[in-house]
Amino acid sequence: MRGAKSAKWVAGAIVVALAATACGGGGGGEGESKGSGPAGYVSIDVGEPQKPLIPADTNEANGSYVIQSLFTQLLDFDAKGDIVYTNAESVTSDDSKTWTVKLKKGWKFHNGEEVTSKSYIDAWNWYANIKNNQQNSFWFQDIKGYEDVHPEKGEPKAEAMSGLKAVDDHTFTIELKYTMPYFNYKLGYATWAPLPEVFYDDPKAFGQKPIGNGPYTFEKWDHKKLIQVKAWDEYLGPNKAKNKGVQFKNYTTVEAAYKDVVSGNLDMIRQVGPTDLPKYKQDLGDGAIEQPYAAIQSLTPAFYSKTFKDIDPKVLQGLSMAIDRDTITKTVLNNTRTPAKGFTPPGVKGYQNLDTDVFTYNPAKAKQLVQEGGGVPGNKFTIQYNTDGGHKEWVTAVCESIRKATGVDCVGDPKPDFPTDLEARDNDQVKGMYRGGWVADYPVNANFMKELFHTTAEANNGRFSNKEVDELMNKADQAKSLDESVKAFQEVEKKLVEYMPSIPLWYYRINGGHGKNVDNVNVDFHGDLEVWGVTTK
Amino acid sequence: MGRYVARRLLQMIPVFIGSTLIIFCMMYALPGDPVRAMMGDQAYDPTVVAGIKKELGLDQPLLQQYLNYMMGLFQGDFGTQIASQRPIADIILDAFPVTIRLTLFAFTFVTLVGIGLGVVAGLRPDTLRDRGLLTLTLVLVSMPSFVLGFLLQYLLAFQWSVTTPTVTDSTNLSQLALPAIVLASLSLAYVARLTRTSIAENLRSDYIRTAVAKGLPRRRIVGVHLMRNSLIPVVTFLGIEIGSLMTGAIVTEGIFNVRGIGIEVYEALSRREGATVVGIASLMVLIYLAASLIVDLLYAVLDPRIRYA
């Protein structure tokens, strides 16, 4: 019986395979409770951070949520965008160039080490050093001596930036290369967090098991499943945790997360998916969150492209007036956006009413302006977008609106995913306009102009370049005080209407929610839910 | 037999090298730079991008990268993921058992229920219960798995609260039941129909008539004589189906939030994590190859006339 013999072989192989897989994963369960985790903990749908948890190496939303719970930098902002001092007693400057930081005393890292001037200075020098390849290292470029640790090519010439000097254990100074009246606002970004001594022993291991000075201590990171942090009793800051801990849970789809919020398995969701938007207010009742935050979406012309090279700004003004923002945000975007009225979203310092009709739908005037400006070359242009981000619907609607109002033909130029879209922008291959988006790094209007429309700005992918605007921005940066600088940038914004470096479309709104087990869920200026303030019922 | 298996195993080597090379080239040909994409919409520093690429060896020519990758593979090193800096072997070890368990669960379900239904219907062709099965399987075949997935999720979890809507713990077998059944539904229909036809046909063949004439008990006729011959096409189908179930799991994993390789591949693809995609895909290739080898060996079991020298 040859057959029977080999049957035993095959059956044996299958049994081995079954046993191997069934046992292999059994260890991960640990008898975890199925609901919202340990008592007093709150849960939120924050997915797997892209990178190890090092403050200066994280700029995407998932990672920043965790970083912000574990680390506290010098200062933070309230919902209005005003400064709230956290680890710093004060951050002051007489000339906007040399800043003095006074730290609060008694602050400790989670391992008991004291937070001193050195914790900050050493961390910043490490972040900025090119050898360490930190993604956010350019945030330190305003500091004197940045070029020494971060040259464009080759090895760093120094280990430390000359602009950072410790006065004593709780005082240090930051000298900038130039004046920057809103520099203290930049310090609110999570990248500026301090590091304990143990970090330098093994940064790689630290990134998997960070020790910070924030309201929560790290508990565990079950990759692709959840990150758990525990409230820290000894925390001294104003944002002390009001719950016992947080579980950042990973979901593959927003729909799955939403279902879990409705069924009580999850406490908070950051953004309700399009399929559930029409009914989420009904489902969640008081738990539904709808709030604008400091982010804007716009259409940016590629000023190097055939279509928009040397275009008359009047044409762009006309196209802007041809977009029916009210209807599109209401219907196509399900009320998840607020029509834009300028280049700066509300919630940042210097938000203003521009007193112009360029952002209001007016088909007759739109057509007239486009004609006066000489029209769009070829009477047709494209809007580049990435299809993996849910942009197709509104791009089509915007095109339709423009076509109807002005007769200029407009089509979408889809790229399969975000990396492809970015590559085309970086390499100056955008054929017409592209979909641009910008979330505030710090709540000052300069953030929405200097980083986007200055000739030398990295994020200026439309390659807009205008001497007058550049000079106005440089001048605004030299202002003596923040107020003066904000005012000067308000003037810049008025100038931008004349040149139209981009067509603002709408401001983002967060459409999230929470379940019945938690309360006090608030949203900060860049649209993140403030987990530390959430209370359990 | 032993020589045949050895030869088949040796054949796997060029197939494995070829398929990894093809996937490697395809990942390389895709537009978009993984390190740059990590930086996102906002401002970034090109010097840092260059630094990270150099560290990971992504600045070298394609063939050199492939050679480095294969050399690493021989030493059991699957490489490192670009963004998370985690070893890819860890990621595969996390995700693979989940998918394999889901697939095996579905596979067992397909085999037992599918063949069972097929036998029940095939033994009495053209009766009411046969018609009933044909209608049921027709519905299953024509319904895409995501529709069935959402439907069952809606009914079982939201209307009747029998299960949780999503899998909160991918290692929990009872939670995997629903996704496994959804995943199995399509193959189940095929297997049931295939078995039914095969059984119904063989029932009329000469050797069955002989067996009946010999006065053998019915259990023996059906269990040994009829089944053995009728299962050959079914086993072929099932063998290849293991591979399709694994790929089909990608959709089901998404609906039910199961943390398997489907999601890993999808995420890795959209982030251009070449090494991760190649690592997982080549393991899938190996599973396909192994499954087809097992199928071929099972032929010999079912039909002793087929022999491998």
Query: pLDDT digits over A365-396, tens only?
Result: 999 999 999 999 999 999 999 887 789 999 99
How big, in percent rounded to 5, are the helix, strand and coil portions of chain B? 80, 0, 20
CB A470, CB A450: distance < 8 Å: no
Helical H runs in A73-159? 117-128, 146-149
Selecting from B30, B272, B301 the residue whose C-beta is nearest the C-beta of A10 gives: B301
Average pLDDT over residues A271-281: 88
Q: Å from A406 to nearest chain B CA?
A: 31
pLDDT digits 0-9 by tens, A297-320: 999 999 999 999 999 999 999 999
CB contact under 8 A, B40 and A51: no
Residue A299 CA from chain centroid, whole number: 19
Contacts within 8 Å (CB) and 24+ apart, A325-333 = A325/A359, A325/A361, A325/A505, A325/A506, A326/A361, A327/A361, A327/A401, A328/A394, A328/A397, A328/A398, A328/A401, A329/A506, A331/A397, A332/A393, A332/A394, A332/A397, A333/A393, A333/A394, A333/A506
CB contact under 8 A, A10 and B270: no
Instruction: Decide if pLDDT at A24 tops 80.
Output: no
The predicted pLDDT at position A441 comes to: 87
The predicted pLDDT at position A459 comes to: 85
The C-alpha atoms of residue B45 and residue B47 are separated, in whole angstroms, by 5
Contacts of B44 in chain A (CB under 8 A): 135, 138, 458
Instruction: Decide if pLDDT at A2 tops 50.
Output: no
pLDDT digits 0-9 by tens, A85-136: 999 999 999 989 999 999 999 999 999 999 999 999 999 999 999 999 998 9
Q: Is A46 helix (H, G, I), strand (E, B) or coil?
A: coil
User: Nearest-CA neighbor of A389 among A342, A340, A434?
Assistant: A434
Instruction: Decide if pLDDT at A20 tops 90.
Output: no
Contacts of A4 in chain B (CB under 8 A): 301
CB contact under 8 A, B104 and A21: yes
A-contacting residues in B 33-92 (Cβ below 8 Å):
33-34, 36-45, 47-48, 51-52, 55, 83-86, 90-91
Average pLDDT over residues A412-422: 88
The C-alpha atoms of residue A106 and residue A213 are separated, in whole angstroms, by 11
The predicted pLDDT at position B168 comes to: 65
Instruction: Decide if pLDDT at A3 tops 70.
Output: no
pTM equals: 0.81
A:B CB pairs within 8 Å:
173
pLDDT digits 0-9 by tens, B252-286: 887 777 878 888 888 888 888 888 888 888 888 88
CB contact under 8 A, B84 and A50: yes
CB contact under 8 A, A10 and B294: yes
Contacts of B169 in chain A (CB under 8 A): 29, 32, 34
Chain A touched by B295 (CB under 8 Å): no
Helical H runs in A331-448? 363-372, 392-406, 418-426
Instruction: For A451, name the nearest residue in chain B, comparing CA atoms only.
Output: B43
Selecting from A17, A133, A437 the residue whose C-beta is nearest the C-beta of B48 gives: A133
The predicted pLDDT at position A220 comes to: 94
Instruction: Provide the ipTM.
Output: 0.73
Instruction: Decide if pLDDT at A35 tops 80.
Output: no
pLDDT digits 0-9 by tens, B140-191: 888 877 788 888 878 877 777 777 666 766 667 777 888 888 888 888 898 9
CB contact under 8 A, B1 and A6: yes
Instruction: Decide if pLDDT at A362 tops 60.
Output: yes
Contacts of A429 in chain B (CB under 8 A): none
Contacts of B253 in chain A (CB under 8 A): 252
> To probe the interface with A, which of B80, B170, B301 has the most A CB atoms within 10 Å?
B301
Helical H runs in A407-480? 418-426, 450-453, 467-477
Give percent of chain A with pLDDT exceeding 90.
Answer: 71
Burial of A311-333, coded b for 16+ CB within 10 Å and e otherwise, reads bebbbbbbbbbbbbbeebbeebb
Q: How confident is the model at residue A18 (pLDDT cuts 50, 70, 90)?
A: very low
Contacts of A441 in chain B (CB under 8 A): 42
